[in-house]
Amino acid sequence: MHILVIGAAGMVGRKLVAKLARDGGPGGRAIDTLTLVDVVPPAVPEGFSGSAEAVTADLSAPGEAEALVARRPDIVFHLAAVVSGEAEADFDKGYRINLDGTRYLFEAIRQEGLKAPYKPRVVFTSSIAVFGAPFPDRIHDEFFTTPLTSYGTQKAIGELLLSDYSRRGFFDGIGIRLPTICIRPGKPNLAASGFFSGILREPLAGREAVLPVSEDVRHWFASPRAAVGFLVHAAEVDTAALGDRRNISLPGLSATVGEEIAALRRVGGDKAVALIRREPDPTIARIVAGWAQDFDTRRAEALGFRAETSFDAIVRAHVEDELGGVVGG
């Protein structure tokens, strides 16, 4: 089996690659080749028994998608994207990476299949940002996509392309709308949602964090552990059960910022909570106000997707996976 991971140097990409190298492909199948791609050099996993190649490439550059697809991977994980805040700040870059890169990839697969039969599984990471206010109390998969950000618009177009290319039989695609991933390890990024992780990650490590919105802001979350599980399961799920509706909203946890902080207090104590500094940011507040807060994910759950059911579990997963089980660094 040959697996191509585009966006392999990102946080979720690195964790996905580590799991694939450790546990094998979907269904435990042996992986002969891992091709890892990003705009910065991805790390090759240690101890992997197959062939692993790190490729530095920009999917939106001419010829790059064709070169990657010419190797005919069996599974393509498309994780590469410019995050929400950066896509909003840099209109051209957001559309070039998030839309053009995605279309080039899909079209390269189609063209490769015209040479000789070829139909890989394509797992596309979409986002709950494809939905825009006003919302029902809980959003179901049939709710219309009216994104209120450039990032959400780019992901929504990607979803439409994936469904159409799958309908036409060019590849076997599934688009997974990830919740906001929390707690993201490492340094803060330019995502408008970054503070959701920051107000937990930094205090757990003994550092100060900034909270730019009020504590009654509600959002939809899942952990990095859950995100990797989503990706692997998407690669093996029976897409016949999806029909032509190839994009699904994944399970998560609806919680307020106040509930996040309460979980931080239970796991990290009052000392950790005291490190959160309130600093209102109207721009961030405006963007977040247009995001979905709760989802009806019975369709995804029926297909076997699973996530955490408490914020305490999300916080503890971070402490175990990133801090060696120790709060306060």
Mean pLDDT for each consecutive 10-residue tract of the chain (329 residues)?
A: 97 96 91 97 92 96 97 98 90 98 98 98 95 90 91 97 98 97 86 91 96 96 97 96 95 97 96 96 86 94 96 96 83
Work out whether the CA dihedral 204, 206, 207, 211 comes out positive or negative: positive
Reported as a single tens digit per residue, the pLDDT across 85-97 is 899 899 999 999 9
> Annotated catalytic sites, by residue?
151
User: Residue 125: what pLDDT?
Assistant: 98
User: Residue 329: what pLDDT?
Assistant: 56
Reported as a single tens digit per residue, the pLDDT across 199-229 is 999 999 999 999 999 999 999 999 999 999 9
- One-letter-per-residue 3-state SS of the chain: CEEEEECCCCHHHHHHHHHHHHHCCHHHCCCCEEEEEECCCCCCCCCCCCEEEEEECCCCCCCHHHHHHCCCCCEEEECCCCCHHHHHHCHHHHHHHHHHHHHHHHHHHHHHHHHCCCCCEEEEEEEHHHCCCCCCCCECCCCCCCCCCHHHHHHHHHHHHHHHHHHCCCCEEEEEEECEECCCCCCCCCCCCHHHHHHHHHHHCCCCEEECCCCCCEEEEECHHHHHHHHHHHHHCCHHHCCCCCEEECCCEEEEHHHHHHHHHHHHCHHHHCCEEECCCHHHHHHHHCCCCCECCHHHHHCCCCCCCCHHHHHHHHHHHHCCCCCCC
User: Residue 289: what pLDDT?
Assistant: 83
pTM: 0.93
Domains of the chain: 2-179+223-249 (3.40.50.720), 194-219+253-296+303-322 (3.90.25.10)
- State how far the alpha carbon of 162 is from the alpha carbons of 110, 115, 123, 130, 262, in Å: 12, 21, 9, 14, 39
User: Residue 26: what pLDDT?
Assistant: 87
